[in-house]
């Protein structure tokens, strides 16, 4: 009987390699699991340090059921003293950042959208002084601009202050917004105030379907602030300093300005180090206030007793965006737990800090946080109101779901692609090396992005670990099949390359950018 012919060399090599494939796959899977655990995002916890009013600090801690996601808080409580006059108590809880320094009374924080109360107060103050009417048109205040949309020129300053002008939220593209979440900072500023105003005049449009209804707009608030400053013959930052900050003794506060001046940094635990504001005065009316809980407490006390410039800005003059809410000039008046609360929140989830200021009756509260977990409910609790903000609950569901999807989707899609065996419909097209490389780079970039931008106080970090292991499993499966796969599938290879090369290039570029943060 003839002996069996020796197996061809390539087939023999593949058979021998196949014997080791399970062991190699197991080793790679184990290494990937260890790596994923090491690199997993870790949500912040509120630190043990305390400064200032010990009783107030203890009250804040007791009011937080779950401290996950907080790192450092600066709070102020406004209430009547023994003589009946309003007094401001302050406390710092936790740390300022990676160095673990304690939060103090004069620790600077970003105020996010709490800064929007300032343009409203300026407008009310100008009305009180007889300098301006609430129905003054923005086109008349900025008469050197050529407005492409006549309806925008006809918008009133009161409409801008109450978010009823029919403008979009902001002139920011989706890529810019997504980058903000990862970088924890604002996108490149629009340039000078003049450039910003010319850009808005040329591009912004009033939506007739939205005008008259409350539609939150950062662009509208920035336009308002600079229109008021132009009317007053001053820069916005100088106008705020002269009319509000200095009269109220808010000595530690500053508004972003393009001009050179004192260097100040805000504390941002998400970045792990202090953050220098971008100083873009064009954006300063909608979010450019750097301040302390003490200073905001002084502002709040003056608004509550009516002594603040533009204190009438808290009075409702327009409908809000929900039935339980009315809109003042910059301030919201909403009902929670049967209690009417006047205030404004600042949830700068894209650059790592949140803020809230509000009052009811003779009791007010300020909360500043250096992470992107919402802080509004802490302030509402300090006012003695039991009902949490339903808006924040909705936002948390959306952000949590988005975080989970972004963490798991890359690995699931990559594994499904790597494991394909039989051709068929378009979603069953054969696996190829080009696709594996593109899925690997794109998936790794999305995972890295989600690690930085994800809301890990809402979603367990184990979700990210699972996503990383799934992606690693896809790479292991692809590596085991690599020798038997075509470089690029299909008869027209150029079509395939035109699809996968941009994905691989974008994934590589995003990885490099994220590594630089």
What CA–CA distance (Å, rounded) separates 309 from 88?
A: 19
pLDDT tens by residue, 256-267 = 876 655 556 677
- Selecting from 3.40.50.1000, 3.40.50.720, 1.20.910.10, 3.40.710.10, what CATH number does the domain 86-388 have? 3.40.710.10
pTM for the full model? 0.84
Q: Contact 488/497 with Cβ under 8 angstroms?
A: yes
pLDDT tens by residue, 448-473 = 888 888 888 889 999 999 999 899 88
pLDDT of residue 28: 63
Asked if pLDDT for residue 426 goes beyond 60, the answer is no
Going 162 to 168 to 169 to 172, the CA torsion angle's sign is negative
What CA–CA distance (Å, rounded) separates 65 from 103?
A: 21
**277 — pLDDT class (breaks 50, 70, 90):** low
Mean pLDDT for all residues in the chain: 84
Asked if pLDDT for residue 386 goes beyond 70, the answer is yes
pLDDT of residue 259: 66
HSE toward the beta carbon, residue 290, CA cutoff 13 A = 24
Q: At what angle do helices 9-39 and 461-481 cross, to 10 degrees?
A: 170
pLDDT tens by residue, 92-127 = 999 887 666 789 888 888 888 999 999 999 999 999
Strand order through the sheet with 254-255: 109-110, 289-291, 254-255
pLDDT of residue 427: 52
∠ at Cα 305 (299, 309), nearest 5°? 55
Q: Residue 258 CB: number of other CB atoms within 10 A?
A: 17
367-405 as b/e, with b when 16 or more CB fall inside 10 Å?
bbbbbbbbbbbbbbbbbebeeebebbeebeeebbebbbe
pLDDT tens by residue, 135-186 = 999 999 999 999 999 999 999 999 999 999 999 765 554 455 554 555 555 5
pLDDT of residue 39: 81
Burial label for 151, CB within 10 Å (0-12, 13-18, 19+), is middle
Asked if pLDDT for residue 318 goes beyond 90, the answer is no
What CA–CA distance (Å, rounded) separates 325 from 306?
A: 22
pLDDT tens by residue, 347-385 = 865 557 889 999 999 999 999 998 888 889 999 999 999
% residues pLDDT > 70 (the chain): 81
% residues pLDDT > 90 (the chain): 44
**515 — pLDDT class (breaks 50, 70, 90):** confident
Domain ranges of the chain: 9-39+396-515, 86-388
Token pair of 139 as six digits: 């086109």
Q: Contact 452/514 with Cβ under 8 angstroms?
A: yes
What CA–CA distance (Å, rounded) separates 376 from 383?
A: 11
What average pLDDT does range 483-489 have in this prediction? 86
Q: At what angle do helices 390-418 and 461-481 cross, to 10 degrees?
A: 10
What CA–CA distance (Å, rounded) separates 216 from 332?
A: 12
What CA–CA distance (Å, rounded) separates 98 from 477?
A: 39
What CA–CA distance (Å, rounded) separates 447 from 219?
A: 32
- Give the 3-state secondary structure of 182-229: HHCCCCCCCCCHHHHHHHHHHHCCCCCCCCCCCCCCHHHHHHHHHHHH
Give 179's strand partners: none
pLDDT of residue 401: 94
Single out the residue of 352, 321, 126 nearest to residue 217, CA to CA.
321
Distances (CA, A) of 372 to 182, 249, 350, 375: 12, 29, 8, 8
Beta pairing, strands 289-291 & 318-319: unpaired
Q: At what angle do helices 461-481 and 433-453 cross, to 10 degrees?
A: 170
**310 — pLDDT class (breaks 50, 70, 90):** very high
**244 — pLDDT class (breaks 50, 70, 90):** very high
pLDDT tens by residue, 390-421 = 888 888 889 899 999 999 999 998 988 888 87
What CA–CA distance (Å, rounded) separates 406 from 35?
A: 19
Q: Which of 94-103, 263-272, 285-294, 432-441 has the lowest mean pLDDT?
A: 263-272
């Amino acid at each position: 009987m003839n002996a069996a012919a020796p197996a061809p060399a390539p087939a023999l090599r593949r058979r021998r390699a196949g014997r080791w494939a399970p062991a190699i796959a197991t080793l790679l899977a184990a290494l990937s699991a260890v790596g994923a655990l090491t690199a997993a995002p870790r949500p912040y916890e509120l630190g043990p340090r305390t400064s200032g009013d010990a009783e107030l600090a203890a009250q804040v801690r007791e009011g937080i059921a779950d401290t996950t996601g907080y790192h450092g808080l600066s709070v102020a409580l406004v209430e009547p003293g023994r003589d009946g006059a309003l007094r401001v108590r302050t406390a710092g809880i936790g740390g300022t950042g990676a160095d673990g320094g304690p939060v103090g009374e004069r620790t600077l924080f970003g105020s996010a959208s709490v800064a929007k109360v300032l343009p409203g107060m300026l407008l009310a103050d100008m009305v009180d002084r007889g300098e301006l009417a609430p129905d003054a048109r923005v086109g008349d205040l900025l008469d050197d601009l050529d407005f492409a949309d006549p309806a925008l020129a006809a918008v009133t300053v009161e409409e801008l202050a109450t978010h009823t002008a029919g403008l979009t939220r902001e002139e920011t593209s989706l890529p810019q917004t997504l980058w903000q979440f990862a970088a924890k900072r604002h996108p490149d500023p629009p340039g000078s105030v003049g450039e910003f105003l010319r850009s808005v005049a040329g591009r912004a449009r009033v939506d007739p379907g939205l005008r008259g209804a409350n539609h939150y707009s950062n662009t509208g608030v920035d336009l308002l602030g600079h229109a008021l400053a132009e009317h007053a013959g001053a820069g916005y930052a100088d106008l705020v300093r002269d009319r509000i900050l200095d009269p109220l003794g808010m000595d530690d506060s500053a508004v972003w300005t393009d001009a050179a001046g004192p260097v100040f940094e805000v504390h941002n635990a998400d970045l792990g180090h202090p953050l220098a504001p971008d100083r873009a005065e064009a954006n300063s009316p909608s979010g450019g206030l750097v301040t302390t809980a003490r200073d905001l407490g002084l502002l709040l006390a003056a608004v509550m007793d009516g002594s603040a410039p533009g204190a009438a800005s808290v009075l409702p003059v327009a409908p809000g965006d929900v039935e339980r809410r009315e809109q003042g000039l910059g301030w919201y008046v909403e009902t929670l737990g049967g209690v009417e609360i006047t205030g404004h929140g600042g949830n700068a989830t894209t650059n790592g800090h949140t803020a809230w200021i509000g009052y009811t009756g003779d009791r007010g509260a300020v909360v500043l946080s250096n992470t992107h977990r919402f802080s509004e409910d802490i302030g509402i609790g300090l006012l003695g109101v039991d009902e949490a903000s339903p808006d924040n609950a909705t936002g948390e569901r959306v952000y949590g779901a988005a975080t989970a999807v972004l963490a798991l989707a890359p690995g699931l899609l990559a594994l499904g692609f790597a494991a394909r065996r039989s051709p068929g419909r378009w979603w069953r097209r054969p696996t190829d090396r080009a696709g594996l490389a593109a899925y690997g780079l794109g998936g790794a970039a999305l995972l890295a992005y989600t690690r930085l931008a994800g809301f890990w106080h809402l979603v367990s970090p184990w979700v990210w670990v699972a996503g990383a292991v799934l992606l690693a499993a896809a790479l292991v499966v692809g590596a085991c099949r690599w020798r038997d796969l075509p470089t690029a599938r299909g008869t027209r290879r150029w079509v395939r390359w035109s699809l996968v090369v941009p994905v691989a290039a974008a994934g590589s570029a995003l990885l490099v950018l994220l590594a630089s943060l």
